[in-house]
Amino acid sequence: MARRRNPCRLLIGEFRRNLDTLSSVDERVLVACSGGPDSICLLHLLTRCRPARNLMAVYVNHGLRPDEAQNEERLVQDFCRSCQIGFQAVSVNVPALATSRKMSIEDAARILRYQKLEEIREQAGFDKIALGHTADDQTENFFIKLIRGTNCAGLAGIKPASGKLIRPLLGQPKKTLLVYLEATGISYCHDSSNDDQRFLRNKIRRRLLPQLKTEYNPSIDEKIRQIGIILTRENDLLEQLTNQAMQELVIYAEKEEIIKLSQAKLLDLHPALQGRVIEKSCWLMATKPSFRTIEAVLKLAESGSHAGELHLGKGLRVVKSRRWLTFFHPFGKTGHRQASSQPIKVDVQIPKTGRYQIAELGKELVLVHTKNINDENALVVDAGKLDFPLRLRSVRPGERFTPPGFNGSKKINRYLAEKKINFFEKYKYPVLSSKEKIICIPGLIIDDQARPSSKDLLLIYWQDI
């Protein structure tokens, strides 16, 4: 008769092999420990596989369950003392973050917890942060993402390693950990918030998954694990192809915080890569794009027009020109929805000739009164046809002027488009006027009514500061 294998030894062996792929023996590991069964089991297994001097546990009090938090902190501290490993307890204000950012308690708790763990890791000089996620968390996470909406990467699930984070228990079912804890006589705490079915994760854990296992497939956890493996492999391939495409069709001016996508090259890609390139461009501009956002940008690229503009989240704009889709923040990272063709307004009185710095545009206006001198670097107008003070101001919507020798007037914005000046650069070209009559667009062109007809001239320079 075959001898049954000891489940504790089996778990320790699997854990050690998995841990060795995620962290070297000499690395220092910070352990996130809430006092619950998963993290307590993680901490105990780490003490079996790594020197105590290389371990430290951190308990994060989220400020949500004051009475339970005291018991949990005490249990983790006592456990660490018995194992002679370091311990630290910290507090974060989850309700305040959830309220200020209008997010769920769960999301706020996760953000603050990870921030605090990383802060301690860096300050204390640890190499990795170990988290107690299990196979059950992987299954629950799959359904959370499916219900809320996600992409291939989201459904692929939690990764065993991500930056400094490692999850050595990710392949283990929770029931295996409970058997281990019972067999070794290790105590743990019960988090009452796990019983609160107002939280989506708890609804999935206590209602959806039991029904799926009972009525549809008792092996649903294993099937989802397999799906996760397949999606991870496929997502890795798509990510490689996306990065290659980004190198070929994206210009990223990081200092100026501007991204330009070649429309022709974007539209040559497979639709799956088109969406990923747009998504990645939005992420680079610190904006999380929705499915509708990505589709809207793609529709803009596919349109036959040579101009167009989309207002995305957090002040991000996408402007279409003849060749490019340009992502930028004309007003900074805000929710302001003013059209980006004039993100900066100017209105400056020019009392006399001289030099005038227009700092918000990064330009300098120089006016020189002269006789019979022509300079190819300046616009030349008839000084006798204007009266000081002059006015330098932003172009008004629909405003028109008369180009020299042109039969009739033309919209200034159309003229700028013909000069191939993108929407996000138009604000750099205001008009100079006298008694509300346009004299010129500095740096570009004069109005026909200001054309010289005498030797009394005004030279107008528009140059970078």
Residue 424 pLDDT class (50, 70, 90 cuts) = low
Q: How many CA atoms lie within 13 A of 39 on its CB side?
A: 24
Give the whole-angstrom CA distance, residue 55 versus residue 78: 15
Q: Where are the domains of the chain?
A: 7-217, 228-328, 347-464
Is CATH 3.50.40.10 correct for 347-464?
Answer: yes
* Chain segment 238-277, per-residue pLDDT in tens: 999 999 999 999 888 766 688 989 999 999 999 999 999 9
Q: Is residue 104's pLDDT more than 90?
A: no
N residues, the chain: 465
Greater pLDDT, 335 or 30 = 30
Provide the residue type at 389 as one letter. P
Q: Is residue 343's pLDDT more than 70?
A: no
Domain covering 7-217: architecture? 3-Layer(aba) Sandwich (3.40)
* Chain segment 18-44, per-residue pLDDT in tens: 999 999 999 999 999 999 999 999 999
Residue 373 pLDDT class (50, 70, 90 cuts) = confident
Give the whole-angstrom CA distance, residue 244 versus residue 246: 5
Q: How many CA atoms lie within 13 A of 160 on its CB side?
A: 16
Burial class from Cβ neighbours inside 10 Å (0-12, 13-18, 19+) for residue 398 reads exposed
* Chain segment 426-459, per-residue pLDDT in tens: 888 999 999 999 999 999 999 999 999 998 999 9
Give the whole-angstrom CA distance, residue 338 versus residue 206: 47
Residue 1 pLDDT class (50, 70, 90 cuts) = very low
Residue 319 is predicted with a pLDDT of 86
Across residues 388-417, what is the average pLDDT? 93
* Chain segment 126-153, per-residue pLDDT in tens: 999 999 999 999 999 999 999 988 888 8
Residue 209 pLDDT class (50, 70, 90 cuts) = very high
Residue 4 is predicted with a pLDDT of 60
Residues of the chain by 3-state class (helix, strand, coil), percent to 5: 45, 20, 35
Q: Is residue 171's pLDDT more than 70?
A: yes
Residue 339 is predicted with a pLDDT of 47
Give the whole-angstrom CA distance, residue 101 versus residue 334: 14
CA distances (Å), 256 to each of 26, 243, 260, 285, 424, in order? 42, 21, 12, 11, 12
Ranges 88-102, 339-353, 356-370: which has the least confidence: 339-353
Give the whole-angstrom CA distance, residue 196 versus residue 203: 8
Q: Is residue 361's pLDDT more than 80?
A: no
Backbone angles phi, psi at 463, to 5 degrees: -135, 160
Task: Give the angle subtended at the CA of 356 by the CAs of 351 and 361, to the nearest 5°.
Answer: 125
The token duo for 389 is 């003070």
Across residues 294-313, what is the average pLDDT? 87
Is CATH 3.40.920.10 correct for 228-328?
Answer: no
Provide the residue type at 171 as one letter. G
Give the whole-angstrom CA distance, residue 201 versus residue 30: 26
* Chain segment 380-389, per-residue pLDDT in tens: 999 999 999 9
Go through 162-188 and write b for each residue having 16 or more CB atoms within 10 A of its CB, e for each that does not.
Answer: eeebbbbbbebbbebbeebbeeeeeeb
Residue 270 is predicted with a pLDDT of 96
Give the whole-angstrom CA distance, residue 126 versus residue 369: 69
Give the whole-angstrom CA distance, residue 106 versus residue 116: 16
Average of per-residue pLDDT values in the chain: 90
Among left, alpha and beta (phi > 0; psi -120 to 50; other), residue 354 is left
Give the whole-angstrom CA distance, residue 392 versus residue 289: 39
Task: Give the angle subtended at the CA of 419 by the CAs of 414 and 421, to the nearest 5°.
Answer: 85
* Chain segment 89-102, per-residue pLDDT in tens: 999 999 999 898 88
Residue 7 is predicted with a pLDDT of 76
Q: How many CB atoms lie within 10 A of CB 308?
A: 15
Give pTM, 2 decimals.
0.67
Give the whole-angstrom CA distance, residue 365 versus residue 442: 8
CA distances (Å), 31 to each of 46, 55, 460, in order? 9, 7, 67
Give the whole-angstrom CA distance, residue 111 versus residue 106: 9
Residue 340 pLDDT class (50, 70, 90 cuts) = very low
Pairing of strands 410-411, 431-434: unpaired
Give the whole-angstrom CA distance, residue 365 versus residue 378: 11
Cα dihedral sign, 156-158-162-167: negative
The token duo for 231 is 């999606």
Which residue shows structure tokens 């101009």? Answer: 307
